[in-house]
Amino acid sequence: MILESDGSWKTQTENRIKMLEAELTRVTSHLALPSIAGSSAQDVEEGQQTETSISAYMTPQTEKNVPDNFEMVLDPTSGPAAIPGSVVSRIAIPSEGTIGEMEQDIIARGVITEQQAQTFLDVYQNRLDHFLYRIIGDRQTLQEIRSSSSLLLAAICAVSALHLVAPEYEKCYQEFVSLAAAHTFSRRRTVGDVRALCVAAFWLSGISWTCVGAAVQIATEIGLHRSIFAALEGDRLHYQRTRLYYLVYVCDHHFSVVYGRPPMTREDDAIKASMTFLDCAHAVEDDARLVSQIERWKIGSEIHETFGVDVDRPLRHAQIGPLRRLGIKLDAVRADWEERFACNPYVGNYPKKGVGLHYHFAKLYLTSMALRGIGKANFKPPNIALDIEEITNMAVLSATSILKVVIHDTEIQGHLNGLPTYFDVMIAFAAVFIMKISSKYSASVKVDISELRALVADLVTTLERVTSSMHPRHLLVSVARGTRALLSECYGGTPNAPYLDNTRNALPQPGFDDVLHGYSGDWNTGASELFSMGDFDFLSTQIIADFQPQTQYF
């Protein structure tokens, strides 16, 4: 029956084509146009290829929002346990374009010149990309970047302009936001777009959470998490896709801590195989640096699952043991990786020093759990009072270690205008932690107030010096301003010079510290301000961080 039906359909189609050719011949004769009667099959095929190419060049700005068409797929090689959605295939627009991307990118649209774009790309590839284990992978030319993803080029230009204090930053930033918004409902999803969203999330604080959410969505949609199996067998393309998925995982976990939200990525097969990934034929030292982050953030996921997000409920006796065990795991990760990395030709000794900083960031995040519910009557029940005090001392040690590294390590100071915003957030968190512990909660936690005050004052001096040459949009500029204001509020002034305002408030994009100076000074609003970074709410419940998306949603 199927064969008979197929034969009947073909006969009808052939008759219709003959009728169409006859009509077209009559029309062309009447209009004195060249005849198409002699068109060959090759001509028809070339026409189809042209149509496909036009579709491939469609960009999110020109692509029509038409309903998706689907067709049933019968794959005789797949078993009955296949993924349910594999039996339905979307009839999609081709996902890779070249000329179409270049026709719509930041250069072609006249936002910046090709020379400026080359400068931004050089800065990114020669420095910034090496802080994040090479998001764009192998070194690429400007032409290759333009051909792969207009969104990636815009992200690179915006991030580089920020760190170069270039006047083009504002328009590069807006161009990236516009392109990203246009990509929201696009059916053209590529690995280049994932790279672009990771670049933006790591360095553009105002839209980081939105970007990482989109990156996770696209990464799973195009199946980056499934490339691990082919990567382990030596396939280079899938090796590159797997390491990009690892970067998405790290980015996701960075900001799950910052925003106090559960990570969107989970410990799937690709993450479980992270150590085995280093045995791939194509693995290099940057992959080892990346995997060290994976191993650390696996513990971060355990911390979140164990302690949740209720920062007002005091620690229970049953949680002391898990907290200690998680701390030991962090100690082991630091011991395993800190001596493994050599000096990097692009970022110096950061690979080794970064292990220590990340360790203290994670250790502070973990041990600060001991201070949940501080100020309440049942904050330190007798059966765990000594445990709470011991763990709190660990938290203070990690926080002061972070501040001391920033104050005394000149190499790290030189990297601050380049490290991802997660570092800026955790430096701020450590500073605020110290100030609150040594001012409001000094009766509950025994610390040397004068020593901690001097430490924070030194941090402010260092940050103000380092950020004096940074772009006013750089998050660390806001951290320096906010820390100065909070230091004065906590301790009634500092031995340093008076705080001076700058031109930041004249700029249109909301800043981290836009409302710091109007804060109420109410330090009795609960421990959630101190230990939850959901809103980066360090000073009052009205302060909304620069990290939260302001007006752009895509």
**pLDDT for the residue numbered 13:** 79
Give the C-alpha separation, 229 to 269, whole Å: 9
Domain boundaries, the chain: 99-222, 313-531
The DSSP letter of residue 224 is: G
**pLDDT for the residue numbered 393:** 94
Give the C-alpha separation, 464 to 470, whole Å: 10
Give the pLDDT band (50/70/90) at residue 477.
very high
Which of 19-33, 134-148, 523-537 is predicted least confidently? 523-537
Q: What pLDDT, in 10s, does the model give residues 186-200? A: 777 899 999 999 999
**pLDDT for the residue numbered 15:** 80
Give the C-alpha separation, 185 to 172, whole Å: 22
Give the C-alpha separation, 38 to 24, whole Å: 12
Secondary structure of 10-55 as H, E, C letters: HHHHHHHHHHHHHHHHHHHHHHCCCCCCCCCHHHHHHHHHHHHHHH
**pLDDT for the residue numbered 54:** 34
Residue 44 has pLDDT above 60, yes or no: no
Q: At what angle do helices 236-259 and 208-221 cross, to 10 degrees?
A: 140
Residue 269 has pLDDT above 80, yes or no: yes
DSSP string, 420-434: -HHHHHHHHHHHHHH
Residue 397 has pLDDT above 60, yes or no: yes
User: What share of the chain has pLDDT > 70, as a percent?
Assistant: 73
Average pLDDT rounded to a whole number, residues 488-492: 82
Mean pLDDT of the chain: 80
- The structure's pTM equals 0.76
Give the C-alpha separation, 212 to 73, whole Å: 32
When comparing pLDDT for 415 and 383, which is higher?
415
Q: Give 398's contacts (C-beta < 8 A, 6+ positions apart).
A: 360, 361, 363, 364, 367, 430
**pLDDT for the residue numbered 285:** 94
Q: What pLDDT, in 10s, does the model give residues 315-365? A: 999 999 999 999 999 999 999 999 899 999 999 999 999 999 999 999 999
